[in-house]
């Protein structure tokens, strides 16, 4: 993934947590790898909390370097990376300050990338200010989630940004789409004849997609209490992963072919009748509990959270896709904070054999399954039954493991690194198109509206568990269970 293209990467929110933990470390890894970033490429950080470039470099050394030192820092590469960084002090609330940015970017060759690592309330003002000084031409803009609070507010942002930037200039980022196992899921499905005949309702019993976190809301209480897990995770990450799993083979891997197929999945989601939401959607909120031996507080006592908050920190929802490939196959999506483990995974449970001469274990659904682990360790495992050594025909579950590090000497590329390189090189396939986003909001809104109108509080669950019991009961009604309950 090499490029000779010159670029200027402008980072709004240059002192923010996302910039420090993800964006600048990803750019450093691309720089250290050699050949991924043009030598002439520059990074221009924009912020108002530091005085000048020297102060900003000190800030980067303090806050970014710890996130790139897992395997030791190449000091030569680090020093040359810092040479790429420039700084412009701007008050984003003052459009006149953008003339300073225009002057700093004047005469630079290549494409301009504007990365908005800010709150969504600043997206439109920043875009308008960029246009007012002529910086919306020959440029690309990256929008972080959440993009709006609901369909109406999302459309308002997209309308305003779309007046300034063409759709092919807009990169709505979802970092889960850049993860290596998600890319390998596409390779497994569309590069091998083995899986395609099985990837349909005749052979798949159910599919689970889980994004679980051990952490609570940390310092994001104010933001999270006005957002909740459904908006924060389901509307974007989980529905995007679902569309990747369920999509039809695209004509090619170009941006519109892939996104057209994802859109068809999102438009085929069975609408949820508000009267059925209690049966197909579970919302929960964590109470005090214990994680890895340490006590953690209840969500309602977290800083920035209202004591009587009814915001959900857990969601489990059953999804159905109304098309020939997936009709009748339940997709179970789940996400939550303060759960028992940090894990993101996709579990494809295949149907049991129709008849077995080998005993009841071969007739159990889920005996054959594909588990795509996205975090913390990125792996793909195919589970099947094999005979145990010894007398008799006793079956046991075994797995075939796709261990990337055994087959490929190159280290895996982090999601943000891949996506930032795609932005610089103008590749849109792994970014969310506006019509995809609208389809996702349209499907989620009945749940949002019903929960907002309901007087029922979220179901409680103790921190350090896997969420409310109702989430397990929902799967039990379909004769299945979550993967961790299998044992």
* pLDDT of amino acid 272: 93
* pLDDT of amino acid 379: 83
* pLDDT of amino acid 443: 97
User: Quick check: 6 pLDDT over 50?
Assistant: yes
Residue numbers belonging to the annotated binding site: 48, 91-92, 145, 175, 179, 213, 232, 337
User: Quick check: 72 pLDDT over 80?
Assistant: no
Examine the residue annotation and report whether 63 is marked as an active-site residue of this protein: no
List pLDDT tens digits, range 96-127.
999 999 999 998 989 999 999 998 899 999 99
Q: Which one has a higher pLDDT value, 402 or 456?
A: 456
- Mean pLDDT for the stretch of residues 118-147: 93
How far is it, in rounded angstroms, from Cα 170 to Cα 144? Answer: 11
* pLDDT of amino acid 183: 85
List pLDDT tens digits, range 238-276.
999 999 999 999 998 888 999 999 999 999 999 999 999
User: Quick check: 195 pLDDT over 60?
Assistant: yes
Burial class (CB in 10 A: 0-12, 13-18, 19+), 150: middle
* pLDDT of amino acid 460: 97
DSSP 383-413: EEEEEPSSSS--EEEEEEEE-HHHH-SSPPP
User: Quick check: 25 pLDDT over 70?
Assistant: yes
Helix or strand (DSSP H, E) at 432: none
Mean confidence (pLDDT) of the chain = 91
Residue numbers belonging to the annotated binding site for NADP(+): 48, 91-92, 145
Using DSSP, state whether 369 is helix, strand or coil.
strand
Burial class (CB in 10 A: 0-12, 13-18, 19+), 34: exposed
* pLDDT of amino acid 436: 96
* pLDDT of amino acid 1: 44
User: Quick check: 209 pLDDT over 90?
Assistant: yes
User: Quick check: 340 pLDDT over 80?
Assistant: yes
* pLDDT of amino acid 2: 46
DSSP 191-249: H-TTTGGGSSTTTEEEEEEEEE-S---TT-HHHHHTTHHIIIIIIIIIHHHHHHHHPPP
Structural domains in the chain plus CATH codes: 7-144 (3.40.50.720), 177-413+427-485 (3.30.360.10)
Catalytically annotated residue among 31, 49, 237, 251: 237
Backbone angles phi, psi at 8, to 5 degrees: -130, 120
Contact 3, 38 (CB under 8 A): yes
Residue numbers belonging to the annotated binding site for substrate: 175, 179, 213, 232, 337
DSSP 332-346: EEEEESSBSS-EEEE
Structure tokens at 429: 């396939």
Task: Compute CA distances 15 → 37, 55, 96, 233, 305, whole Å.
Answer: 22, 11, 21, 24, 24
How far is it, in rounded angstroms, from Cα 125 to Cα 299? Answer: 33
How far is it, in rounded angstroms, from Cα 346 to Cα 334? Answer: 11
* pLDDT of amino acid 69: 67
* pLDDT of amino acid 41: 94
For residue 463, the 8-state DSSP code is T
- Mean pLDDT for the stretch of residues 62-87: 89
* pLDDT of amino acid 404: 65
- Mean pLDDT for the stretch of residues 299-305: 95
């Amino acid at each position: 993934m090499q490029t000779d293209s010159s670029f200027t990467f402008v980072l709004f929110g240059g002192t923010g947590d996302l910039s420090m933990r993800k964006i600048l470390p990803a750019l450093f890894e691309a720089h250290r790898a050699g050949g991924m970033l043009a030598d002439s490429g520059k990074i221009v950080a924009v912020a108002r909390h530091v005085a000048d470039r020297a102060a900003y470099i000190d800030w980067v050394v303090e806050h970014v370097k710890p996130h790139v030192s897992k395997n030791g820092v190449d000091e030569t590469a680090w020093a040359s990376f810092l040479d790429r960084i420039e700084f412009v002090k701007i008050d984003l609330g003052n459009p006149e300050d953008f003339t300073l940015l225009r002057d700093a970017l004047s005469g630079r060759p290549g494409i301009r990338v504007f990365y908005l690592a800010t709150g969504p309330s600043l997206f439109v003002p920043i875009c308008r200010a960029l246009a007012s000084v002529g910086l919306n031409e020959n440029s690309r803009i990256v929008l972080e989630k959440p993009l709006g609070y609901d369909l109406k507010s999302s459309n308002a942002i997209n309308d305003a940004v779309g007046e300034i930037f063409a759709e092919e200039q807009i990169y709505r980022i979802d970092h889960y789409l850049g993860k290596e196992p998600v890319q390998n899921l596409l390779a497994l499905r569309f590069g091998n004849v083995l899986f395609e005949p099985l990837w349909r309702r005749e052979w798949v019993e159910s599919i689970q997609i889980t994004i679980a976190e051990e952490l609570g809301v940390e310092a994001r209480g104010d933001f999270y209490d006005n957002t909740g897990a459904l908006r924060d995770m389901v509307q974007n990450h989980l529905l995007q992963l679902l569309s990747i799993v369920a999509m039809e083979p695209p004509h090619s891997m170009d941006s519109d072919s892939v996104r057209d197929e994802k859109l068809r999945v999102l438009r085929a989601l069975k609408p949820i009748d508000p009267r059925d939401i209690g049966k197909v959607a579970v919302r929960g909120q964590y109470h005090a509990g214990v994680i890895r031996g340490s006590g953690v507080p209840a969500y309602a006592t977290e800083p920035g959270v209202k004591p009587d908050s009814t915001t959900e920190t857990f969601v489990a929802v059953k999804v159905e896709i109304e098309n020939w490939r997936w009709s009748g196959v339940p997709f179970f999506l789940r996400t939550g904070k303060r759960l028992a483990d940090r894990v993101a995974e996709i579990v494809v449970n295949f149907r049991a054999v129709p008849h077995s001469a080998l005993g009841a274990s071969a007739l159990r659904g889920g005996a054959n399954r594909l588990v795509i682990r996205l975090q913390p360790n990125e792996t793909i495992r195919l589970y099947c039954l094999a005979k145990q050594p010894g007398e008799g025909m006793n079956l046991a579950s075994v797995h075939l493991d796709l261990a990337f590090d055994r087959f490929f000497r190159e280290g895996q590329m982090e999601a943000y690194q891949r996506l930032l390189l795609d932005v610089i090189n103008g590749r849109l396939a792994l970014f969310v198109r506006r019509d995809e986003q609208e389809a996702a909001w349209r499907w989620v809104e009945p749940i949002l509206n019903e929960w907002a109108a309901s007087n029922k509080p979220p179901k409680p669950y103790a921190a350090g568990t896997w969420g409310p019991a109702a989430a397990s009961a929902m799967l039990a009604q379909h004769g299945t269970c979550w993967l961790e309950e299998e044992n």
